[in-house]
Copies of this chain bind each other. A is one copy, B any other.
């Protein structure tokens, strides 16, 4: 591919199904295979979580920053959740503007917009001004705001067709987390 065709994509994986974050991790694997410089900023999920993907990222030498205090719907202190989300966005802005990466993933970031912890217009304006033109940025999570979808280059909706929970099967380590 010649240089002229290189363009950083703004990618959104949304919807109620599985595979939003997982597809982002797959893209990380693909990008890592090509020697990309990669950073993940993870919102919402607990710092203490020993998720398979974090173990993998450590082994691969991928920068992985967790900023959440666990799933919001179990959060007892909403102010702290909001403060952590905003702190996460400050970190993300620094990483994005640095020019040190080829791919950055803002995992579960849509919630910070959907719940109005961050102002969607401000976030999108900032990205328009400061995202390096060759940086690929992937944003995952349910309920992606319309304005984000409008600004994105590639949007996929993951829809749930069938889930093992319905059949009483618990989440499987290494597959679902």
Number of copies: 2
Please choose the segment from A65-73, A82-90, A162-170 that sits at the chain B interface, where 4 or more of its residues have CB less than 8 A away. Answer: A162-170
Q: Is there an interface contact between B25 and A52, defined as CB atoms closer than 8 Å? A: no
Q: Is there an interface contact between A34 and B19, defined as CB atoms closer than 8 Å? A: no
Residues in chain B near residue A25, CB distance under 8 A: 25-27, 29-30
Task: Kindly provide the distance from the CB of A121 to the nearest chain B CB, expressed in whole angstroms.
Answer: 19
Is A5 located at the chain interface by the 8 A CB criterion? yes
Interface residues in A1-20 by Cβ distance below 8 A to B read 1, 5-7, 9, 11-15, 17-19
Number of interface residues of A (CB under 8 A): 63
Is A149 located at the chain interface by the 8 A CB criterion? yes
Q: Which residues of A contact B (CB under 8 A)?
A: 1, 5-7, 9, 11-15, 17-19, 21-34, 36, 51-60, 102-103, 136, 149, 152-164, 167, 169-170, 172-175, 177
A-B contact pairs, 25 of them (CB 8 A): A1-B173, A12-B161, A14-B161, A19-B19, A25-B30, A26-B28, A27-B175, A29-B56, A30-B51, A30-B177, A31-B52, A32-B59, A33-B51, A33-B55, A33-B57, A33-B174, A34-B173, A36-B174, A149-B161, A152-B162, A154-B164, A155-B160, A155-B162, A156-B161, A157-B161
